[in-house]
Amino acid sequence: MSDAPPAADAAHPGNAREVFWAFLRQGLTAFGGPVAHLGYFRREFVEKRAWLSEAAFADLLGLSQFLPGPASSQLGMAIGLRRAGYGGMIAAWLGFTLPAAAAMILLAYLAPRISDVYGEGWLHGLKIAAAAVVIQALVAMARSLAAGPIRAGMAIGAGVGVLIAHGAASAPQVLAIAAGALFGWLWLRDEPWTAPEDAVTQRIPASVSSAALVVFALLLAALPFAAALFQDPTLGLASVFYRTGALVFGGGHVVLPLLDREIVGRGWLDRDTFLAGYGAVQALPGPLFSFAGFVGAAQTYARGGWFGGLVAVVAIYLPSLLLVLGVLPFWDRLKTYAAARGAMAGVGAVVVGLLAAVLWQPVLTTTVERPSDWALVVAAWVFLAVARLPPWLVVIGFALATGLFTRITI
């Protein structure tokens, strides 16, 4: 009997229900962050279910890496769209996002009670684990996105520039991303790309894709003005998270610097709670962007709780939904242009610098309170990168250990 995977089931599109349940399973079991999610998706949808071929999977993965936003979630949306049309796209997003988003919104309610019972030590443990996770992500991203003198120089320049401009809202990050695209367009045009080989099962009309791109641009431009015009905190909250989802390149970890400037910088949430939530999301399966649910539910600017969490989650993912719909029909042509590939390579190098900047300020500067904390950060990193323990185990372990130690020593 052959061990080869079954042929891709391109001739038999499915329905939104089966897509939802397939991705809900991923949302409940896919631990390990965005890179691990890609492996889970390949095993489930290429090898096991045969919803698409290896070539088609690689092609959609290239699209998800090209677009701003959460790469694994966008890949899931594209697979759902390919399998069951627009309903499948929504079903894939809901199934993959729902478990972690609901857990993070619930944590926003429980965090104050946990602090009352266990003290603030558990929060410190979450911050230690979050710092180690960022270090691990930074090393991995630097190896793949900032290799070579040109990319490394772009990453260093972006990181130093953002640190110098610290406190100037999100403008430095946006300018750094734009500069990365420009320099990549000029100097990194030799990026290779694989031509598509697999036929699609769902065609998107040009009118739909064009409308999606128009709506994406209009919301990006109009939401801040609408929030200011109507003085509506909910619109302001939606504007911040929509802008974050539209401008984040490089995956879930890069959401940290933008949200830190937009949320903590505006005084909507204190930094300790913000970093504790970011540490907690590492212990959950599913996408890291579900961190938005915690921030939206815990912030004090607009209505919080479940409503604020829901607004934040929908707003941060909406750009991805619109961009996948808008760009997918043009993807085959776009990726043949060397300039487009170079621009995205430049953006990838710059996001390494952005992540390095946020690792120092605010992650390490607010986490390391005493010399012994350096040892804890290094220990957490060793557990992750050397011992290769799963992030959720390291997060839970450090939260419990520091919480218990704090109670014993008080």
What's the domain count of the chain? 1
Q: Does residue 9 fall inside a structural domain? A: no
What is the rounded CA–CA span in Å between residue 317 and residue 73? 9
Q: Does residue 167 fall inside a structural domain? A: yes
Q: Does residue 280 fall inside a structural domain? A: yes
Query: Going along 55-173, which residue ranges are E strands?
Result: none
The pLDDT confidence band at residue 370, using thresholds 50, 70 and 90, is: confident
What is the rounded CA–CA span in Å between residue 374 and residue 220? 40
What is the rounded CA–CA span in Å between residue 80 and residue 63? 14
Q: Does residue 139 fall inside a structural domain? A: yes
Query: Going along 51-156, which residue ranges are E strands?
Result: none
Q: Does residue 10 fall inside a structural domain? A: no
Q: Does residue 7 fall inside a structural domain? A: no
In this predicted structure, the answer to whether residue 86 has a pLDDT above a threshold of 50 is yes
The residue length of the chain stands at 410
What is the rounded CA–CA span in Å between residue 395 and residue 397? 5
Q: Does residue 101 fall inside a structural domain? A: yes
Query: Going along 341-409, which residue ranges are E strands?
Result: none
Which helix (H) or strand (E) segment is 260 a member of?
A: none
Is 94:375 a contact under the CB 8 Å cutoff? no
Query: What pLDDT sits at residue 50?
Result: 87
3-state SS, residue 67: coil
The per-residue DSSP string of 232-247 comes to -HHHHHHHHHHHHHHH
Q: Which domain holds residue 234?
A: 16-409
Which of 327 and 284 is assigned the larger pLDDT?
Answer: 327
Q: Where is mean pLDDT largest: 59-68, 151-160, 251-260, 359-368?
A: 151-160
Query: What pLDDT sits at residue 5?
Result: 41
157: buried, middle or exposed (CB in 10 Å: 19+, 13-18, 0-12)?
middle
Residue 147 CB coordination number (10 Å): 13
Q: Does residue 8 fall inside a structural domain? A: no
The pLDDT confidence band at residue 59, using thresholds 50, 70 and 90, is: confident
Segment 214-226 mean pLDDT: 95
